[in-house]
Homo-oligomer: A and B are copies of this chain.
Amino acid sequence: MPELRKDPIIGRWVIIATDRAKRPNDFKIESADMAEVTPCPFCAGNEHMTPPEIRSIRKESTEANKPGWDVRVVPNEAPVLHIEGDLNKRPHGIYDMMNGIGANEVIIETPNHIEHMSSLTSEQIAKILTAYKERIVDLEGDKRFKYVLIFKNHKPAAGASKIRHCRSQLIALPACPKSVKGELAGARKYFEYKDRCVFCDIVSQEIEDKKRLILDIDGFVAISPFAARFPFETWILPKKHSADFTSINEDSIRELGKVLKEVLLRMNKLLSDPPYNYIIHTAPYRRPKEGYWGTIDADYHWHIEIIPRLTRVAGFEWGTGFYINPTPPEEAAKFLRETKV
């Protein structure tokens, strides 16, 4: 009998197909035509091929836009939103619109021509996470922005271009995205009812249950969420309550670097180098500091969602927000838990 499971945060129902559960080898990884783009604009030595850097983590006394960096942040050459101009919010008959103002940056994750983030050291991954944090903090100064989304598209089937150089992207948005709003509203509803953070409750239950737990290292857990939409969908959450990713300290960043590397290594081995996306879910800019439910940040909890792209999304999913997941999260977690890298 398949199961219908409800996501405890946003209330989305997911069909978990327990009958004919798909195992790692049942997924066919699309092998994209990966003709290499040369020279690679993201490699050290080719800094002139990108727009000038916005920020870099680099060796002392090296010059901007020259080699010597570990992580380099540059504007996206073909940005989806433009950084300059006014929002000019306006109606169009019954409709609403504004100018496509926003930031779109590329975080180049290594000076070397390396495709997989999991091949980097956990110290290097910690530097990348530090760059994420710094960029989110810096962009808050721009009052036009309400949210910063940080995400990675690994391989073309996950939306990346064909350049095989490890990187992620940042988009600063002038409107809080709908699904972020949904997550915040759902988490608040739970908080109002229970006086507890729903994510904290998830972390507790998963640590106790163990069935959906993949890793429990230092201050972080990696889990297969109870109502996972996708096979091998994995969330990394800090055990300690925190709404805002930018509140993370250096020790925690180092721990997170280890956990992220380990999860990606295992996924890579178990699922034969799948395309994947990850997204950092964090609180929006300028949330009001208090509400009748107490300090407002008590109700939300930042985390990272990693989604290997193993299945196609069909009409059913688009039409309903109702997902069919052919791999029960308990099995996905077991496989990932037992993978040795």
**Chain A residues close to B by CB (< 8 Å):** 1-6, 8, 10-13, 15-18, 20, 78, 80-82, 85, 92-101, 147, 149, 151-153, 156-160, 169, 171, 173-175, 177-180, 182, 198, 201-202, 205, 209, 226-227, 277-279, 281, 305, 307, 312-316, 318-322, 324
Contact = CB atoms under 8 A, between A and B. Distances in A.
Contacts of A169: 316
A227 B312 contact: no
B316 A307 contact: no
A229 to B, nearest CB: 9
A6 B95 contact: yes
B159 A312 contact: yes
7 contacts: A1-B99, A2-B80, A2-B81, A2-B99, A13-B177, A151-B314, A278-B315
Contacts of A100: 1-4, 15-18
Contacts of A18: 100
Contact of A93 (B20, B151, B205, B305): B205
B1 A85 contact: yes
B315 A153 contact: yes
A180 B320 contact: yes
Contacts of A153: 314-316
Contacts of A316: 149, 151, 153, 159, 169, 171
Contacts of A3: 97-100
A80 B316 CA distance: 11
B319 A179 contact: yes
A95 B178 contact: no
A30 to B, nearest CB: 9
A186 to B, nearest CB: 10
Stoichiometry, copies per complex: 2
A98 B2 CA distance: 9
A3 B202 CA distance: 38
Contact of A318 (B11, B156, B279, B320): B279
Contacts of A1: 82, 85, 99-100
A152 B152 CA distance: 31
Chain B CB within 10 Å, residue with most, of A4, A81, A95: A4
A312 B313 CA distance: 10
Contacts of A101: 4
A29 to B, nearest CB: 15
A318 to B, nearest CB: 6
5 closest Cβ contacts across the A-B interface?
Answer: A159-B314, A2-B100, A277-B315, A279-B319, A177-B320
Contact of A315 (B180, B205, B279): B279
Contacts of A97: 3-6
Given A177-B13, A320-B179, A82 B315 contact: no
Given A1-B100, A6-B96, 10 more contacts: A2-B81, A2-B100, A4-B81, A8-B94, A94-B202, A151-B314, A159-B313, A177-B319, A279-B320, A307-B318
A93 B56 CA distance: 45
B78 A20 contact: yes
A252 to B, nearest CB: 22
